Chains A and B, each alone.
Chain A
Amino acid sequence: EAGVVQSPRYKIIEKKQPVAFWCNPISGHNTLYWYLQNLGQGPELLIRYENEEAVDDSQLPKDRFSAERLKGVDSTLKIQPAELGDSAVYLCASSFGQGVKDTQYFGPGTRLTVL
């Protein structure tokens, strides 16, 4: 079974440039998550989708961050414009959406460096 796929794995951009990350969840998983992980810290949720609906985006900085999950399968997270403080690892995860018994499966992440 293929895991959560993310691309690119690494991205280096200059500040004020736009950047996009792509995630393909495990087949059949209804719930998709985007997390942000700063160096030395645990991941923090940015947004959670149930199928194509964003059910928790309270931590997403909406002035510069946007996300979409068209057709309820793969998802794109965008930053425009990027700032120096956005340098971090962006993790995508997916789950079946079974509540308590659910487990989240994480991709390898995209490491973003903003210069």
Chain B
Amino acid sequence: DAKTTQPPSMDCAEGRAANLPCNHSTISGNEYVYWYRQIHSQGPQYIIHGLKNNETNEMASLIITEDRKSSTLILPHATLRDTAVYYCIASGSGNEKLTFGTGTRLTIIP
């Protein structure tokens, strides 16, 4: 799996959009970008994944740059329940080993 780099922490005001960046400059052509989050004392939770097109689901949007070297996870209207550690993972398959880094600790401020 390609290495990913994320900022260790970010704050976002409640109700605003939270934009979480991820660098994956060595990602290979067949590797997808997956995002998971982990709320305190819980297991990680899948959010979204994509290859090269932008993706949106009920939880978030994923924007991948054209050269695929970086991506941004967008939570459009952050709530206090979005406070968690967010992991960006590059992997060739969703059901193989996920290589988690240390992630970004997102704190939503009331």
A residues at B contact (CB < 8 Å): 4, 31, 40-45, 48, 56, 91, 93, 95-109
Q: Which of B41, B87, B94 contacts A42 (CB 8 A)?
A: B87
Residues in B whose Cβ lies below 8 Å from that of A56: 96-97
- What's the Cα separation between A102 and B49 when bound, in Å? 10
Asked if residues A108 and B43 are in contact (CB atoms below 8 Å), the reply is yes
5 closest residue pairs by CB, A with B:
A42-B100, A106-B43, A102-B94, A102-B95, A103-B46
- What's the Cα separation between A35 and B43 when bound, in Å? 10
Q: Which of B43, B45, B92, B95 contacts A97 (CB 8 A)?
A: B95
| B44-95 CB contacts (< 8 Å) to partner A | 44-46, 49, 87, 92-95
Asked if residues A103 and B94 are in contact (CB atoms below 8 Å), the reply is yes
Residues in A whose Cβ lies below 8 Å from that of B101: 42
Asked if residues A109 and B102 are in contact (CB atoms below 8 Å), the reply is no
Residues in A whose Cβ lies below 8 Å from that of B10: none
- What's the Cα separation between A20 and B97 when bound, in Å? 23
Residues in A whose Cβ lies below 8 Å from that of B94: 95, 98-104
Residue of A whose beta carbon sits closest to that of B46: A103
Q: Which of A91, A96, A101 contacts B43 (CB 8 A)?
A: A91
Asked if residues B102 and A45 are in contact (CB atoms below 8 Å), the reply is no
Asked if residues B97 and A40 are in contact (CB atoms below 8 Å), the reply is no
- What's the Cα separation between A43 and B94 when bound, in Å? 15
Q: Which of A31, A42, A107 contacts B95 (CB 8 A)?
A: A31
Asked if residues A108 and B95 are in contact (CB atoms below 8 Å), the reply is no
Is B109 interfacial (CB-CB < 8 Å)? no
What 1/0 flags go to B12-45 for Cβ under 8 Å of A? 0000000000000000000010001000011111
- What's the Cα separation between A109 and B44 when bound, in Å? 10
Nearest chain B CB to A111 CB, angstrom units: 9
25 CB contacts below 8 A, A to B, read A41-B100, A42-B100, A42-B102, A43-B44, A45-B97, A48-B97, A56-B97, A93-B44, A95-B94, A95-B95, A96-B95, A98-B95, A99-B95, A100-B32, A100-B92, A102-B93, A102-B94, A103-B46, A103-B49, A104-B46, A106-B42, A106-B43, A107-B43, A108-B41, A109-B42
